[in-house]
A and B are shown apart, each in its own frame.
Chain A
Amino acid sequence: MIDINKNKIVIDDSVYETNLTKKFLNRKKYTPKDDSLVCAYIPGTIRQIFVREGQKISKGESLLILEAMKMKNEIKAENSGIVKRIAVKENQLVSKNELLIELSL
């Protein structure tokens, strides 16, 4: 519903000339959640990986340990599938939202 054309903003089909803020220009585009990707929900270190590529896993199975804020967080599969690719190694530092494991659902 909103189109940006340099210093213009569209609200309810009306075009207004105005300045745009940095925050507005840098706002994140929405992308729907991809169930086949397991990403880090917090930055931290991969301590242990329990699965290997090609392995069949079921929902709720432990995938790896992501240590963050002095806590060893067990990352479990939210969906059943086959491990297509493991994108990280043990002891690797990962940032927030970084891809950890890709599944074939």
Chain B
Amino acid sequence: MSFKQRILEFFKLKSKVTEGGGEQAIQKQMAMGKMTARQRINELLDNGSFHEYDLFVEHKAEDFGMDKKFLAGDGVITGTGSIMGFPVCIYAQDFTVAGGSLGIAHARKITKIMDHALRLGLPLIGINDSGGARIQEGVNSLAGYGEIFFRNTRASGVIPQISVVLGPCAGGAVYSPALTDFVFVVDKISKMFITGPEVIKTVLGEEISMEDLGGAKVQAEVSGNAHFYAESEKECFEQIKKLVTFIPWNNQKRADKFPPKSPRINNLIDKIMPKDAKQPYDIRDVIRALCDDSDFLEVQEHWAQNIVIGFVRINGETVGVIGNQPLVLAGVLDVDSSDKAARFIRFCDAFNIPLLTLVDLPGYLPGVDQEHAGVIRHGAKILYAYSEASVLKITVILRKAYGGGYIAMCSRHLGADFVFAWPTAEIAVMGPEGAANIIFKSEIANASNPDEVRKEKVQEYTQKFANPYKAAANGYIDAVINPEETRDYIIHSMYLSQNKVDNLPKKKHGIPPF
């Protein structure tokens, strides 16, 4: 064969494999409203940046007629490329090839690109679209999953890991996304569950649709497994592109700096805050009034909405924001909101992203259901995450900071570097009504006009303690500030903290209340 012939032969071989599962399977994929694995990669990565690896990998399975089956790329596409100029490693399961089922060759392609990402210190993106284990390969496919989970765990906190669920992701397969940092789902396309509706029906006699059991909405609103929810694959890819710009390549780096921009909302904090301290407002409005271009990338927007988390830039630098949301459940901490915040804090800490905490909460949510669901164990996660975090920690107390909630929300006592309070802050052991009812219990009970006395005592307590000055007198806050100065104080704190050093005691790892 001549040189040219060999090149032509290569093109022929390549085009056969890049077809995936063939025309019919591709049509079927499109009919389900889904892109093919290759289209997805091209849509997500910068134009022409994709470099494919392991195109010619083939399985070696022999049982159940597998020896006669050719599976293009063994059902997964792997490689490298860039997103918005940031280098990434990527894999995409190809549902058109044997339903994207995972055999050992398929898994080894994935683990190879994972090893590559870890060695090179690059983010890893996994697009999941698979019917599950390739049953014909038996325990080998289980081995494949295990090897992926092992690497997800070893890479955790070293490189950012992003999972995109664009099809079924069932059984053991769900644990790879669960071990990664961010899970993206798309309405009507993503389906995640450990046991599907069929099994649930036969074993337990309960009937439920796939969508209601583990669809995108359920994962984004009910279970909290998903971090980003989109209506379409295109919207999902835009979300990923945006996220990538906020996070660093690996744990040795800081996120890229962008040109600083002023908030689009200016001097509006005054207008956002209601006159009555018991009236709610949207904490996201305050976040937008503080950050560059008023651009806030919210994480887990639809789950545990009583706390708000996400990424912003302040003076061009990425900051992770955690804020109580008075608009939902008065912004209380509970089982879910503690889990949500704690995990986010640990991500930011692992990847050198400063933390900004905005405090306005009446405390922990009371209730038998909360106690029995383990609010002690879950609530402890937020204390652990803040105390452990060694990145810059800035706390701003806007209004209520009562009791355990005050301590938990990155107080000075948990190692906050800067604590600022607005004049409207109420830093107290509990709300005035509750405190007055306890402290002046007998006085109120013995009075001839208990309601009036209670009112008086509540007012007395409010005047004395529902303010920032008792905490300021103890040095627990650094400054009481005019709300309109908040952004300036944050920028100045960040400027001062470029070289912050906070060494944790040497240990193998801590034991957080998982």
The chain B residues found within 8 Å of chain A, CB to CB, are 203-206, 222, 278-280, 305-306, 326-332, 336, 362-363, 365-369, 372, 402-403, 430-435, 437
Contact of A15 among B278, B331, B368 (CB under 8 A): B278
- A93 in the interface (beta carbon within 8 A): yes
Contact of A43 among B206, B305, B437 (CB under 8 A): B206
Closest chain A CB from B450 CB (angstroms):
14
- A5 in the interface (beta carbon within 8 A): no
A14 — which chain B residues lie within 8 A by C-beta? 278, 362, 431-434
Task: Report the bound CA distance from A81 to B362 in whole Å.
Answer: 48
Please state if B329 and A9 are interface contacts (CB–CB under 8 Å).
yes
Contact of A16 among B305, B330, B366, B403 (CB under 8 A): B330
Contact of A69 among B203, B206, B222, B403 (CB under 8 A): B203
- A68 in the interface (beta carbon within 8 A): yes
Contact of B368 among A30, A93, A95 (CB under 8 A): A30
Contact with B along A37-50 (1 / 0, CB 8 A): 00000011000000
In the complex, identify which listed stretch (A17-25, A55-63, A72-80, A83-91) lies at the interface while the others stay far away.
Answer: A17-25
Closest chain B CB from A72 CB (angstroms):
14
- A28 in the interface (beta carbon within 8 A): yes
Closest chain A CB from B379 CB (angstroms):
15
- A34 in the interface (beta carbon within 8 A): no
Please state if A95 and B362 are interface contacts (CB–CB under 8 Å).
no
Given contacts A21-B305, A93-B205, contact A16 B280 (CB under 8 A): yes
Please state if B279 and A17 are interface contacts (CB–CB under 8 Å).
yes
What would 29 A/B residue contacts be, using CB atoms closer than 8 Å? A1-B366, A11-B330, A11-B362, A11-B363, A11-B365, A11-B434, A12-B362, A12-B402, A12-B403, A12-B434, A13-B431, A14-B433, A16-B326, A17-B279, A18-B280, A18-B327, A18-B328, A18-B330, A19-B280, A19-B328, A23-B336, A28-B369, A30-B368, A30-B369, A43-B203, A43-B204, A44-B204, A68-B203, A69-B203
- A105 in the interface (beta carbon within 8 A): no
B280 — which chain A residues lie within 8 A by C-beta? 16-19
- A27 in the interface (beta carbon within 8 A): yes
Task: Report the bound CA distance from A43 to B205 in whole Å.
Answer: 8
A2 — which chain B residues lie within 8 A by C-beta? 365-367
Closest chain B CB from A70 CB (angstroms):
8
Closest chain A CB from B289 CB (angstroms):
21
Task: Report the bound CA distance from A15 to B434 in whole Å.
Answer: 10
Chain A interface extent, by class: 20 to 34
B331 — which chain A residues lie within 8 A by C-beta? 18
Please state if B363 and A19 are interface contacts (CB–CB under 8 Å).
no
Contact of B431 among A1, A12, A30 (CB under 8 A): A12
Task: Report the bound CA distance from A79 to B328 in whole Å.
Answer: 44
Please state if B332 and A11 are interface contacts (CB–CB under 8 Å).
yes
Task: Report the bound CA distance from A30 to B362 in whole Å.
Answer: 24
Task: Report the bound CA distance from A69 to B203 in whole Å.
Answer: 7
Please state if B366 and A18 are interface contacts (CB–CB under 8 Å).
no
B369 — which chain A residues lie within 8 A by C-beta? 27-28, 30
Task: Report the bound CA distance from A68 to B362 in whole Å.
Answer: 44
A9 — which chain B residues lie within 8 A by C-beta? 329-330, 332
* Chain A, residue nearest B437 (CB): A13
A93 — which chain B residues lie within 8 A by C-beta? 205
B362 — which chain A residues lie within 8 A by C-beta? 11-12, 14, 16
B435 — which chain A residues lie within 8 A by C-beta? 12
B306 — which chain A residues lie within 8 A by C-beta? 21
A24 — which chain B residues lie within 8 A by C-beta? 329, 365
B327 — which chain A residues lie within 8 A by C-beta? 18-19
Contact of B328 among A11, A21, A43 (CB under 8 A): A21
* Chain A, residue nearest B222 (CB): A23
Closest 6 CB pairs of A and B: A12-B434, A13-B433, A16-B330, A14-B431, A30-B368, A43-B204
Closest chain A CB from B457 CB (angstroms):
12
Task: Report the bound CA distance from A67 to B435 in whole Å.
Answer: 53
Please state if B206 and A18 are interface contacts (CB–CB under 8 Å).
no
* Chain A, residue nearest B436 (CB): A13
